[in-house]
Each structure stands twice: as structure tokens, then as C-alpha cells.
A and B are shown apart, each in its own frame.
Chain A
Amino acid sequence: MSGRDEILGRLRRSLKRGDGAAAAAVDERLQGRRRNLVPARAKQEPAALVDLFEEKVKAVQGTVRRISGLDGVPAAVADHLKAHNLPPKICIAPAPDLEGLAWSQAAPLLDVRAGAPAADDLVGVARAAAGVAETGTLMLLSGPTGPSTLNFLPDDHIVVLRAEEIVGAYEDGWDLLRQRYGVGEMPRTMNFVTGPSRTGDIEQTIINGAHGPRRLHVLLVDPAVSE
């Protein structure tokens, strides 16, 4: 008897069930994909959700900078490097929104490489698929334009997100995934990122930058912003 048969057999005996109705209940739930209770804070007007998102990112020691357009990304990244005394070298996700930007104009000596980060890449610039306002959470997806290791290896995690990509609840994020990949389908890795890496393992003292990034910086593209 295979391990599979053994475990499933034991389960069916413990549950003392025949068949039929149970399978229908399971189908119903999996196909229905009904939302359970969604907190009120996730159900607000878009502008309020953008503000909530920013507030929540800051509450977990992330930083947020609003820029009026994608073309402002290179300058904003250069500012971040300067502010933290970082060398002019970044690894960016090979996303169309990022690769096509005028990097050399913003910082002429900036070394920009697209792809998976190398072991010595201190700064990674990623492109989020969505932001979840209820907890200031970024959704980042693996794929040809998304190296997941970029979210973990570099010290500084800079994430580009459009304001209109901010949704209220995690459930809205699931709907986005279903639109993109199909119902029941997923990319290999879906990262929900909320703030930088941290640990409390030593005497309950919270330290940022355990193994993952020490800093999370969100560049929020919001046309409503005047700079």
C-alpha cells in the first residue's frame, strides 16, 4: 500500500464518511471562492486607500516617496543612493517599466544591470504588481520580468508601484492573480512584502535586516502628486 493510500485510508476511516455529499461541499467551496469577512479599512475610496497604504508602509519602517511619473524613478533612486551613502550600482528587474527609463540621465556614473541580483548587489529595484492597503503590503510576482531573489538579496529593496495598482484587501490581490494567470493558477513565487526584513530573536529586540533587505523604499507613482 502506498503512503498515499495509507494516509487517505486512515483519514476516511477517522471521518467515518461514505462519499457524495462531502465531495459536493468541497467542489462548491473551491469553485465558489467566496470572500469571508473583509475588514472595513480595506473598503475605502481609492484615494483613501493610497493614503492608508503609505501610512502602513511607514508604520513598519518602510519609506515612501511619491513621484508624478515613471520618468521620475531614476532621479528618485539616485537620491536614495546619495541619502544612504550607497555606491552608484543597482540591479533592476528586467521589467519594461524599468528597463526603458533614462537611467544615465539621472546619474551619469550609475551602473545599472537588469536581471537576477549578484551576491554583491547592494541595491535592488523591483516592480510590484500591486499594493495591498490594509497592511501596506506589496505583491511581487516571479516571471520573466520578476526575479524573486531581487526582493531578498540586496541590502536595499526599492519597489516601484503605481497608485492605481493599490487595492484594499488581499482578496483584491487574489482577483488580480486570477485575471493574470487564470483561476487556480499561480506564478512560481508570489511574495507579499511588508516592510524590511526583521528579527526579534535576540532578547525580543527588533532589528531590521536579518537576512533580507535592511531597508524598504517604495516609489509610488501618483500623477496627482505635484513635485
Chain B
Amino acid sequence: MQATSTAFKENAAGALVDAQLQKALTKMKAGFIDKRAKAAAELPEFEALRDQAKAIKDHTLEHLDLYLERWESKVTASGGRVHWCPTAEDARARVLEICRAAGARTVTKGKSMIGEEIAINDHLEANGIEPIETDLGEYIIQLRHEPPSHIIAPAVHLTKEQVAEDFRRAHTALPGDRQLEEPIQLVTEARAMLRERFLAADVGITGANFLVAETGSSVIVTNEGNGDMTQLLPRVHIVLASIEKVVPTLEDLATILRVLARSATGQEFSSYTTLSTGPRRPGDIDGPDEYHVIVLDNGRSAMLGSEFQEMLRCIRCGACMNHCPVYHAVGGHAYGWVYPGPMGSVLTPALIGIDKAAHLPNASTFCGRCEAVCPMRIPLPKMMRHWREKEFERHLSPPTVRVGLGFWSFFARRPWLYHRLTALQARVMGRLGRGRGGFSKLPLAGGWTEYREMPVPQGRTFQDLWAERRGERAQGARAQGARAQGARG
């Protein structure tokens, strides 16, 4: 997917005045936040499980090459095939190869962020194969030719009216006068439309929430059942995964599963959590004849051993963006690529380069709520700050910022000079603002005063006043001392 992250500010400006988007975003806020809080409160062991989940992933990352090898040997032993793809291009090519070998005309897809990352749909279409998104949110945005705006709720930016409009436009065979006001009507229609596609597909492509080294299984965590139909009905099942998805044992999987759904949607467990291991076995009644796993690097191996290694603990729950005030204000599309919100602000520069995503780690107040809710305890603000450091080192920050900061630091490091200048500034601003409470306009502070008053300083600095008071106290103490002396003498 082509990144438009450099246009974050413009994207955001559009998002802020998009009435339908703002309406949709208001609905998502309370739902996700309250539900997650409730789920966390109802499991006494939740905090301890977060610590354990973090420890499992840290251990796995430290031994990632070895776990990947163990996992691969189990996949092969069960009759599956592993395709190691260093780049997105490798992955696209492999998927196309497998689809061609299967004589595929249509391919059903469960939701896969890796699929978005490598832009697999465009590649299949360009090569005469029709990909059909089956996750309801993904289906809707496919109709709209849009990317997802959230990693687990792809159509969260849309109102039901917009969805109804899309369905009327796309489902031309259905009666035009049918009712489509309510979500249940929309869901029922999508169910019917997609059922035929599920049954006719030649190949099914899913993502993978996890890969289990102990058994060679891939895991999908879903609610709709589309991922399961995608992987069971066609002759060929392709799993799109990235290298950091591995967990060592089934026990480790269980621990992380306990924090995943609770953090994502507030459910204790998703409706369907499925482990797939190889193709169908002799005697199986259904299931695919072929099982392929595409394991993608695309920049992740470089994150290992760097100050961004902790980002590889991410299990794609979406809690961070659900709790982010910036995401709530502008939605996911503003971030310009596959991964929005706080996790996107850390991961996107790592995968596509900081020069192509410079805004993202800067568009944060560092309120810290993302880190507070991350089930894997990823220090997201710290890593966004690391990106800011890299930008500073490479002079990617705007010159005004650098100069302004340099100016400020020069004075702040010379207290005597600083105190004189600030005393002057306080007096000047205090005088200019005398009789007013605030400035509606202030040179060099246009960004502030466009939306807010700038409160007038009280007119003297504290250091100035304190020195005065100390002087008075000293005088008073000397006078007291003199009187005491006099009294004695």
C-alpha cells in the first residue's frame, strides 16, 4: 500500500472537518474503552498475565531464529510448506505463484494486516485473479476502494448510512426498495452475498495472529467465522504471517490469548480461535489439500537488537489506538499507511523509513494512555521519542523547530542570563496585557492563539519576586537581630 504519511497534517485537517467520520469516531470511543476496562477489572490475574505475556515475547524475540526453525520443521512434518520472504515483493510473488499453480480465479481473504502491508489485493487483481475480502469491515472498504482505518475494526470510520449507500451501489441484483437502515439488515445482506463467494473460491488467504513453534500451527482469532470458512472451504490455504508472530508453546499461546481479546474488544475470548496445522489429513471430511505459510520479514529483523525491538511484542490488539486522543480526533486514515495510532507511529517509520513517516511519532502528546493499556507493555511513547531523536540527529525536523529549540536551550543553560531575560519578558508581556486576561493574538504564537487565548503573565518572574522577598526577609531578620542586641545591650 502506498504511504501518504508525509501528508499527515493535510490528512488530519480533512479528518477534523469530516462530519461523518467524527460521528463514527464518537461511537467507537466509549465502546472500546469501557469494555476493555470492564474485562480487565473482571479478571483478577489480568495484570500478572500482562507481565507474563511480555516475558514470553521477550524470550521468543531473543531466540527468534531458533523458534522459527523449530516451527518450520513442524509445519513441514505436517505436510505444509513454509515460504521465507525477505521483502514484500518476494511475498507477493510467492502468493501469486501458489494461486497460479492452483488455477485460481477467485480468492477469499480473511483479514490480514500483512496482506495490506504487501498490497496483495492489487497484485492479484493486476494478474487476473479476483480477491474477495470476507471480513465484514474489510468487505465494506473493498467496495469503497479504501484502506482500513483500524487494525481490528477496518470500517470503524464509517456510519451505517454510508455502508447502506455502498451496498445499494454494489449489490445491484437486489431490489432497490429494500430496507437497509439497521445494522442487522446490512449484516444479513453481506452474509448472503459472501456465502456464495466462500463456496466458490479456489484459494483462501488468512492472516495469522500467532505461529506456534511446538506444533507448527497458525492461529487466527476472529468473531465472524469468515476466517474459518476462508481456510476450510477452498482447496488451498495460504497464511500470511510475519516473523515475530511466533510463540514457543501452546501454554505460552494460552497466556497471550487471555490478554488479547480483553484488550481489543473487551471480550473474554473471541467467538472463534482456530489452530490450523498443515493440510487435511487422510480421513478428514473437509479442509484444504494444501497449506502454505508466507513468513515475511520486510524490515522486522532490523528492529531486533535495536531500540525498537520492543515493538515486535505487538499482538495487534488495537488497544493503543482505541485509547489515543489523537486517533480519536483524526481517525486512522490520517496516518497514511497500514498501521495507525500509537503502534503505527512506531512501526511505520521502522518499515518504510522515518523520512517517509516523519510526522507520525511527532503527532503525540505523550499522554501515555497507549502504554498504560498495551497488553504487552510496549513503551510506545519512549519509542516515539527515539524516532524524534533520530529525526533530530538527521536534521529531519523543520528548521524553525531546531532554531527555536537551540535558542531556548542556549538561554536555559545560562541561568543568570535566563533570569534577566525572563524577568524582562514577564514585565513586557504583563504590561502589554494589562487590563486584559489574555492575548487573542501574539507574534510567534499563531498556532496557540488561533484557537485559544494566551493568558497574560503576572508581570514579574518568581525568581525575581523571591529574590526581593529574601532581601526583605534578610532586612527584617537583621532589624530583628539589631533590636534583640539593643534590648540586651
- Where the two chains meet, the residues of A that have a C-beta atom closer than 8 Å to any C-beta of B are 2-4, 6-8, 10-12, 14-16, 22-23, 25-26, 29-30, 33-37, 39-40, 56, 60, 94, 115-116, 119, 134-135, 137, 142-144, 146-149, 151-153, 169-171, 174, 177, 184-205, 207, 209-213
Contacts and interface: CB of A to CB of B under 8 A. Distances in A.
B232 A22 contact: no
Contacts of A40: 44-45
A90 to B, nearest CB: 16
B24 A203 contact: yes
B269 A144 contact: no
Top 9 closest A-B pairs, CB basis? A212-B225, A210-B224, A3-B84, A10-B301, A14-B304, A14-B305, A201-B137, A147-B285, A4-B84
B345 interface: no
Contacts of B331: none
B276 A7 contact: no
Contacts of B217: 186, 190
B449 interface: no
A149 B48 CA distance: 37
B113 interface: no
B304 A15 contact: yes
A30 to B, nearest CB: 6
A29 to B, nearest CB: 5
Interface of B: 24, 27-28, 31-32, 43-45, 48-49, 52, 56, 59, 62-70, 74, 78, 82-86, 90, 134-137, 140, 153-156, 158-160, 163, 183-184, 186-188, 190-191, 194-195, 198-199, 213-217, 223-226, 228-229, 232-233, 243, 248-252, 254-255, 257-258, 265, 267-281, 283-287, 295, 297, 301-306
Contact of A188 (B48, B56, B228, B287): B287
Give the interface centre of B28, B251, B281, B305 by most chain A CB atoms within 10 Å: B251
B297 A186 contact: no
A191 B191 contact: no
B302 A188 contact: no
B136 A202 contact: yes
A196 B248 contact: no
B226 A149 contact: no
A16 B309 CA distance: 13
A196 B86 contact: no
Contacts of B295: 7
Contacts of A203: 24, 27, 159-160, 183
A143 B287 CA distance: 10
Contact of B254 (A147, A170, A196): A170
Nearest to B163: A202
B31 A204 contact: yes
A138 to B, nearest CB: 10
B67 A188 contact: no
Nearest to A62: B271
Contacts of A23: 66
Give the interface centre of B32, B45, B134, B160 by most chain A CB atoms within 10 Å: B45
B268 to A, nearest CB: 5
A119 to B, nearest CB: 6
